[in-house]
Structures are given as C-alpha cells and as structure tokens.
Amino acid sequence: MTLLFLVPTALVFAISFKPSDPWGGIGAGWTLDTIRSLGNPNYPAIIWRTLWISFVTTACCLVLAVPCGYYIARAPQRWRRLLLLLTVIPFWTSFLIRIFAWKVLLHPEGHVKRGLVAVGLADESTMLLYRSEAVLLVMVYTLLPFAILPIYAAAEKFDFKLLEAARDLGATQWRAFRQIFLPGIQRGLLTAVLMVLIPSLGMYIIPDIVGGPRSEMIANKIAQRTFVDRNVPHASALSAALTLAVMAPMLAVLLGRRRREGGR
Amino acid sequence: MGDFLQFNEVTKQYGALKAVDGVSLHIRRGEFFSLLGPSGCGKTTLLRMLAGFERPDRGRVLLDGEDITDLPPNKRKVNTIFQNYALFPHLTVRENIAFGLRVARVADAAIKQQVDEMIELIQLGAHANKKPHQISGGQKQRVAIARALINKPEVLLLDEPLAALDLKLRQRMLLELDQIHDQVGITFLYVTHDQGEAMSLSDRIAVMHEGRIEQLGTPAEIYETPHSSFVAAFIGDTNFFDGRVEALTDKDYCRLTIEGFPPALCYNDKRKQPNELVHLSVRPEKFRISLEQPTLSPQHNLVEGQVQEVVYLGSQTKYLVKVQEYLLAITQQHSRFLLDQRPIKWDDRVWVWWHADDGYMLDRYREQDEALMEMPAH
Ligand SMILES: Nc1ncnc2c1ncn2[C@@H]1O[C@H](COP(=O)(O)OP(=O)(O)OP(=O)(O)O)[C@@H](O)[C@H]1O
Ligand SMILES: [Mg+2]
C-alpha cells in the first residue's frame, strides 16, 4: 500500500523539476523553471478558492454530521440499520450520475430554480449553476456520508450515561453535549475532518461540472495543464504542491493524536 | 421532618409493564434509606424519577415541600452515583470532581479549595491528576462519591454503587459509605438487591416487589416481622411450613397442625382463629440442634430428624435436616463449647428445637412467590 502511494508521488515530485518539451513530453535535464512558474499571478486566487471551499465544505459536513451521528447512535437498534442504510444509499449510484443529477436540479429550468422562484426566494434571472456556492453545495452533499460514518462509529461507542451524569451534576443539555459528548467522539471528529478535507482539496469533477470558470479549483488547473496545455511538468509541480497541502492537515492530526496519547 | 422527600402515588409504565406502580414513600431528612428488591422490581426506575431522568405517568415527587416532578435533572438538588460510576474519561480525577462547581460558575479559588478538601476526604491525593482509566475500581467509586457530594445535594442517590466491586472491597466501601453518611449528614437513598448491604447500612428499608412497596421498616422489623412471605423469603433465608390453626392454647399461643411435620406451638400475635390457614416461617439460625435430647420449657417445639448435609462455613455451620416430609435449613454459630462435643455428621439422628416465639406466622403467600421459596438456600 505505502509503496503504491510513495512511488507515484516520488515520480510526480521528480517530474516537477524537469523541463517540458513542445510535444507534451518531458524534456531532458533538470530545471527550476516549472517551480518558478507556480508564481503565476492566477494561482493565488485559485488556491485561496480551493482552500475556502474545502474548509467551508468540511465545516458544513461536520455541523450536519454530528447531529446525524448522534441521533443514529441513539436510535433503537432496528431504526439504526435503516438510517445507516439511508446514509450509504447514494453510493449505490455512480458519483458522476449524482453530480449530473444536481446539474439538472440546479439548471435554470430545473426544479430547484422553479421552486425558489415560486416561493419568491429567487427571480428568473438568478443563476444557481456555475458558481462557487453550487460547487460547495454539491461537495457537501457528496462528502457528507464520509463525515457521518466515522462520527456515528465514535458515537456508537460513546457511553450515553455520561450525558446523564453531566445533567445530574447541573449541566444543561447543550453544555453536556459540548463538554462531554464532543470530547467523547473526538477521534470520530478528526477522522471525519480528514475524510472530507482531503478529497475536497483535490476535488476536480464537481467544479468541472457544476462550477463555472470563476469557481475553478486547483485540481482543475492540474487537469488543464495536463490535457489541454500538455505541460506535464507544470501539472506535476501543481500536484506536488497540492500533495503537500493535503499532507499538512494529516500530519498535524497525527502529531496531535500522538502527543495526546503520549500525555496519558 | 417525616416528609422531607415524598413520592406520592407515583406510577411509571413502559408499554403494558408497570415498572413502578402507585408507590408512596416518605423519607426523612438525613436518613439512610434503602430500596431493596429483586432484579427488575423497579428500583432504578423510581430513583430515575427522583433524579429527573424519567417523568412519572402519574403521581408527584416532592423535595423539601417543593414539587420537583417536572424539573429537569440539572435543576434538582439531587445527585446520583451511577452503577458504573460514569466518570468522564477525558477529565482527570480533579476535573471530574470539580465538574459540578464549574457548571455552577463557582470562582476558581473556591473550586480549588473545595476540590482539595474533597480529595482529602476520599484520600486520593496521590491520584488527583490521573484519568479515570488509570485508577482502580474502588478509587473510581470514591471519585464518583466525591463528584456528587461536592455539590452539597439535598439527597444523594446511590444505584447499586458496590455491584461492580469484589467482596473484600465491597465490605470496606460499605464501612466508608457509612462513615461518609455520618460526616456529611445528608439524606442517602440507596438502591440494592443485596439484603446484606441494606441491612447493615440503613436506618429504614423499603422492600420492593413488582413495582410496589411490599414492606417498609427498620432492618430489624423487616427481618423479624416480615409482613408477607415474599419479604420473609427475600430478606435472609427461612423455612416455611404450611399449617392450619388447630387450637388456641392460651391467649398468646396457638397450636398448628402441619401436614408432614409434627404439630407446632406458635406465638399468635395476629390473633388467628382455629381452622385458619397460615404459613409458619422459622429462620435457620432460630433452630438449635443437638445429638442428645435436651430438657426444655413447654414453650419450645422439639422434633427429631436425620442430618442430610453438613456445610462448614468457617464462622458457622449449615445443616440440612430431614424431619418427616420437610427438609430444614439450620445454621449454628460455633462456640468453644461445641468443639468439645462430637461434631454432628452426615446421617446422624439429631434433635432440633426452637422457641415458640421464634416462629412467625404469615397469612398466605401469593402464587408467584413460590418460586422464590423454592430457591436453594444459599
Ligand atoms: N426504558 C425502559 N423501557 C422499557 N422497559 C423498561 C425501561 N426501563 C426499565 N424497564 C423495565 O421496567 C422494569 C423495572 O426496571 P428497573 O430498572 O427499575 O429494575 P431494577 O429494580 O432497577 O432492577 P435491577 O436490580 O436489575 O437493576 C423492568 O422490568 C425493566 O425491564
Ligand atoms: Mg437497577
């Protein structure tokens, strides 16, 4: 497993330091030109957009997944199965089909648009599709199960007597939830953050389909450099930067976890 | 004083099952009160209605004159010690104990001082900064007690607090609980299905059975004068005889005929009349047993039987003696005097006697109590 990950990653990093040739191949020798080209003034905006969409997606997923995980874990056994099934049912249809379904829904002639116009929340000229908010919405929808599952797994192991104990000691429901439940499912929360944040940072399909030119993310640029510009080293350099960005939160979490366990 | 804590006609139903069925209880301030009963009789449910985790379907709960039936748990001056302690795993011992004061927004300095005092009381100074999973069962138990007591509750609820401990530790914690009760002087409501615990600690006991209070009284009252055969069988071991009043021998005593057993003289405090059907209950330790025929006053019953089994238990010995169709369970304390004699052995013919005052007559038992009485003496 580690090898399957490390070898291509190393290759990508290596290619970043190669020059490109005009036929889409990789030139001979080594150069820092490609790395320098990352200074392109277009990139900061795209990187910034990638970051905020990813973090907001993660935050939304957590806010939605924590109550979901809590209620599924507290539901009677036979309900629990059903609710879990409902959580994973979207996986039964292809990822692409679901995104296109959203495109249909958000389309100027789609149901969502017409519904919003009908209740007066939007007018005919409002554009739902091809903007960052659409990307965000579809990303939250797609990644939510990946947040619910680890949080549910942690909540299921949580001893709900502890919440009663906190209430007994004078805590309000909200305080017991915050100070006892959330720390109690901490591991699940961390896993959920990773499971949502990392795919978000590298998300390519969703901005491509429901996003417009002004909601491009970094992965779209990588694809563009590879398939349109045929500049593999440049794409590699971007990928390497993205890989580093993805590794950062993972390492932070791992280190944090190690320190906490060491401190016990 | 008698109505510090009141349950008035409290009922809680789960589906068709009445977990608590019209219970009325009045508990005094400062009392060590026990709820005793077999598993599933509704003890925990009753406690949870006092703590605020369940709402009664009918009836009211009053604390110090105030109706608390509809108050949420965090508004009640009641704290609970849960069966498995429910210590917060991510907080240290010190933080666990401080939790209630933190929630109540007590100033930091005051919290520190009170927590220190509490840690002193439970003698856990060396473990104050450990997490719950790093301390032993008995220590967890004490942290749970401290965490509850620091809030100075009006009533401390203990739901089988010793169930998870081994026998030795249990006995020590029993003594500690007793001391703590004396020191803090607040009302303890103690739930257990262990009659030994209830007997040794309580000022008064309520025996519960199928959601109802079967009998309420001091440990001695409940042991010596059980109101029903359920209570007699549940509190300690006893021998039951099915009898019929044959004749009143004088104003205080009557003679019973017992099928498959010699007739017996019995103290007749219930003023039974001839031909009434009764049960006679005699505790195992009320019997005397000997190889030689004793000379006795006429108030004694004397029967002859054959030893079926002898179980030596250290401080006492348990005998099973067959007398006609009955198998009597008898326990005898050892004395030095007894050691000089030839010990009673298997198959020996022996004399068994008891004083008429030590037999206790009960009206009748309900069908469902029979299973309890047939449980092997333990
Ligand atoms: N939440 C619930 N839903 C349905 N039935 C319940 C619930 N809680 C308790 N019961 C039932 O109510 C009855 C009384 O339960 P309770 O827990 O009060 O018994 P208990 O006396 O505490 O027993 P134990 O000594 O085993 O703890 C039991 O038959 C139990 O199955
Ligand atoms: Mg119970």
All residues of chain B having their beta carbon less than 8 Å from the beta carbon of residue A159 are: 86
- Look up the CATH architecture of domain B3-232: 3-Layer(aba) Sandwich (3.40)
The pLDDT of A158-163, averaged and rounded, is 94
pLDDT-derived band at A173 (thresholds 50, 70, 90) equals very high
| pLDDT value at residue B371 | 54
Distance, in Å, from the CA atom of B362 to the CA atom of A114, rounded to the nearest integer, reads 81
Place of tokens 């200074």: A39
Taking the centre of ligand 2 as the mean of its atom positions, its distance from the CA of residue B236, in whole angstroms, is 20
AA letter at A82: L
| pLDDT value at residue B375 | 47
Residue of the nearest CA to atom 17 in ligand 1? Answer: B44
For residue B195, give the nearest of B226, B149, B156, B168 by alpha carbon: B226
What is the β-pairing status of strands B212-217 and B204-209? antiparallel
User: What confidence tens digit (pLDDT) does each residue in A35-65 have?
Assistant: 777 777 777 788 888 888 999 999 999 999 9
| pLDDT value at residue B378 | 39
Any idea where the domains of chain B sit in the sequence? Answer: 3-232, 237-374
How many beta carbons lie within 10 A of that of residue B127, not counting itself? 20
**Residue B215, Cβ density class (10 Å: 0-12 exposed, 13-18 middle, ≥19 buried):** buried
> Could you tell me if B212 and B23 are in contact, meaning their C-beta atoms sit under 8 angstroms apart?
yes
- Sign, CA dihedral B9-B12-B15-B16, equals negative
A262 in reach of chain B (CB within 8 A): no
User: Is B237-374 the same fold as B3-232?
Assistant: no
B158 in reach of chain A (CB within 8 A): no
Bridge partners of B279, per DSSP, are: B242, B362
The pLDDT of A138-142, averaged and rounded, is 91
B148 in reach of chain A (CB within 8 A): yes
Any idea where the domains of chain A sit in the sequence? Answer: 2-263
Residue A247 CA to its chain's centroid (Å):
14
Q: Which residues line ligand 1 (CB under 6 A)?
A: B 14, 17, 19, 37, 39-45, 193
| pLDDT value at residue B372 | 55
**Do B80 and A180 lie within an 8 Å CB cutoff?**
no
The H or E element spanning position B306 is strand B300-312
Task: List the beta strands (DSSP E) in chain A.
Answer: none
Distance, in Å, from the CA atom of A232 to the CA atom of B57, rounded to the nearest integer, reads 73
**Do B79 and A168 lie within an 8 Å CB cutoff?**
yes
Q: What is the 3-state secondary structure (H, E, C) of B204-269?
A: EEEEEECCEEEEEECHHHHHHCCCCHHHHHHCCCCEEEEEEEEEECCCCEEEEEECCEEEEEEECC
A260 CB-side CA count, 13 A: 12
Alpha helix (H) residue ranges in B150-204: 167-184, 195-201
Q: CATH for B237-374?
A: 2.40.50.100
Q: What percent of chain A has pLDDT over 70?
A: 97
Q: A66-70, A77-81, A255-259, B306-310 — which is least confidently predicted?
A: A255-259
All residues of chain A having their beta carbon less than 8 Å from the beta carbon of residue B72 are: 167
| Three-point CA angle A82, A87, A89, nearest 5° | 90
User: What confidence tens digit (pLDDT) does each residue in B152-173 have?
Assistant: 999 999 999 888 788 888 888 8
- Give contacts of A 175-204 with B, CB under 8 A: 175, 180, 183-184, 186
- For residue A70, the distance in angstroms to the closest alpha carbon of chain B comes to 18
Length, in residues, of chain A: 264
| Three-point CA angle A244, A205, A6, nearest 5° | 35
Query: Could you give the angle at which helices A186-201 and A43-74 cross, rounded to 10 degrees?
Result: 150
All residues of chain A having their beta carbon less than 8 Å from the beta carbon of residue B86 are: 159, 161-162, 164-165
AA letter at A32: L
Mean pLDDT of chain A: 84
B14 in reach of chain A (CB within 8 A): no
| Three-point CA angle B353, B364, B18, nearest 5° | 130
pLDDT-derived band at A31 (thresholds 50, 70, 90) equals confident
**Do A184 and B90 lie within an 8 Å CB cutoff?**
yes
How many beta carbons lie within 10 A of that of residue A197, not counting itself? 21
Low-confidence ranges of chain B (pLDDT < 50): 1, 375-378
Residue A85 CA to its chain's centroid (Å):
22
Q: Residue B16: what are its φ and ψ, rounded to 5°? A: -85, -10
On whether the A2-263 domain is CATH 1.10.3720.10, my answer is: yes
User: Can you tell me which atom of ligand 1 is nearest the CA of B43?
Assistant: 21
Interface test with B, best of A157, A164, A169, A182 (most B CBs within 10 A): A169
Residues 6+ apart with CB under 8 A from B322: B305, B306, B307, B308, B328
B247 CB-side CA count, 13 A: 3
pLDDT-derived band at A34 (thresholds 50, 70, 90) equals confident
What is the β-pairing status of strands B66-67 and B239-248? unpaired
Closest residue on chain A to B50 (Cα): A168
**Check: complex ipTM more than 0.90:** no
Here the tokens at position B154 are 């009006």
